[in-house]
A and B are shown apart, each in its own frame.
Chain A
Amino acid sequence: MDATILGLLLLDGVQNGVVYGLLALAMVLVFAVTRVILVPIGELMMFAPLSFVWLQGGKLPGTLWLALALGALWALLERGRGRGLPLAGGAGLLLLFLLARGNPALAYLAALLLVVYLGVATYRVFFQPMREATVLALLIMAVGLHVAYQGLGLVFFGPEQYRPDPLLQGEATVGLTWQGVLVLAFALLSAAALYLFFRRSLFGKALLAAAENRLGARLCGIRPEEAGMVAFAIAGLMAALSGLLLAPLINAAYFMGFMLGLKAFVAAILGGLVSYPVAFLGAVLVGLFESFTSFYASAYKEALVFLLLVPALFYQSLRAKGVEE
């Protein structure tokens, strides 16, 4: 291997790794606040670029109807003033989609907001009613939603792959497109923004508080269901932006979410589902590992990535305290 190939592999690894990192951060956040392991984050991510492609082609994507249906259920579950958010959000989303057909800038925004709305509605409709359930029951729901959303992705968008136009054309240097630079910059900015949100703003701290002690949070007037909705909204935003930025580099298709979500999950597990910095660094490690294994043994690329789970799980099991069931 010469220096050029090494550089390319490093770049490729970091570029994918930071995206896994964002998804892993979102997973850790959602788990901390709601105890949900957000398996369908990959699907939320996949919905964004595909909805964008559909809008750009002047068509309304099926994800819009899914979001509106879940939004209607969400409104039914709420009482009184709580209905304002799902109803206004749904109406706004529909209007935005009607305006965004064929308009790339608006379509970008519409795809983004769709996934945020869908993420929050998913929490409110599927997870919030079972908030007292065990982590296992929540995980089963999450896996079920992953399968369902992936299937719906196939129904809505078909089996083809799409490559939306990148926001920035051309290459910065050999092997690094400007779009890649954008992905890197976005990932670092998001990580910094999340850090500032949790360290500097009382709203961010309230979210951490809801994750640390639910009773204590309620006694302070931090409603856990609100905290859950904010966590899912942040996760949806991260997933949608990552998906939109990444799709021009790796193609968007209904199955893209599965592998990306699983790799983010590996990274989140490396951090024990509790540590944000370890999860992010773990994700970069996963990206690098993947990029080098695909060079040396491309047939086993995915398998080798999941091999990383073994030492991580072993470490976690050594560290784990006994739990009485």
Chain B
Amino acid sequence: MSLLAVRDLTVRYGALEAVRGVSFALEEGEALALIGPNGAGKTSVLRGILGLARTEGEVRLGRKPLPQRTPEALLQRGVVLVPEGRALFPGLSVEDNLLLGGFSRFRRGEALEADLRRVYALFPRLEERRRQLAGTLSGGEQQMLAIGRALMARPRLLFLDEPSLGLAPLVVQEIFRTLAALKGEGMTLLLVEQNARMALSLADRAVVLEAGEVALSGRAEELKANPRVVEAYLGAARGVEG
């Protein structure tokens, strides 16, 4: 039984079809990477699953289908997105941002203290800056905060949209080390990345999207050795990502 199963997903923005007939499944504890060039529809797949865009096709979470897909409904089922651009609350402190990540649990009367300590253990830099406004953090710290905020909701399945975008290579490595640690704890990850090298080193399996359709999919090691992937994503990436 897959944790997440997407079948024949089509995502439309008005007349534009950003994603066409994409299917994939994600097993519990697995990390899946969606890679592909800019504009291939990777982010649209995430937005479609979360109900942030108009879609056709079926999305199943565990045994139950999801009749009404909204970010709020998926959050209740343990699916949390770390969006591209991070969508932090810049005028609130780091700690408030984190606490709000657990807002739905706080509303159910659960305590957030332990989760806060866990996030601080994962990202000690956030604890140093806990009283600082989120808007004053560096890009890398903001990404850490975005991931930390998502973790406060205790997700079973974490969606990450371009976590490496615009960050220095050392920071990217730090972020991916943390993601690997989360995966080691059994968290299921769905990762959208342009940085195919980092994505394939973390993921168990990957789906390559091109022009809104699945071009290739398979185990990460196989894709790393696939000449087409090497040529299009790893070779070209070397110059850019250093």
Contact = CB atoms under 8 A, between A and B. Distances in A.
Interface size bracket, B side: 20 to 34
B75 interface: yes
A52 to B, nearest CB: 35
B71 interface: yes
Nearest to B50: A219
Mostly, the A contact residues are: helix
A209 B98 CA distance: 12
Most chain A CB atoms below 10 A, which of B100, B101, B106? B100
B107 interface: yes
Contacts of A217: 89, 100
Contact of A219 (B80, B99, B107): B80
Contact of A220 (B52, B90, B91, B100): B100
Interface string A173-214: 000000000000000000000000000001001101100110
Interface residues of A, number: 16
A68 to B, nearest CB: 29
Given A205-B96, A219-B80, A212 B103 contact: no
Contacts of A135: none
A163 interface: no
Nearest to B87: A216
Contacts of B101: 220
B100 A202 contact: yes
Interface in B50-91: 52, 70-72, 75-76, 80-81, 83, 86-91
B87 A213 contact: yes
Contacts of A222: 100, 103
B225 to A, nearest CB: 36
B90 A212 contact: yes
A223 interface: yes
B226 interface: no
A44 to B, nearest CB: 28
B92 interface: yes
A209 B70 CA distance: 18
A109 to B, nearest CB: 28
B173 interface: no
A273 to B, nearest CB: 15
A220 B153 contact: yes
Interface in B16-69: 52
B72 A223 contact: yes
Contact of B92 (A212, A215, A219, A221): A212
A219 B70 CA distance: 9
Question: What are the 5 A-B residue pairs with the smallest beta carbon separation, nearest first?
Answer: A221-B104, A216-B87, A212-B89, A218-B71, A209-B89
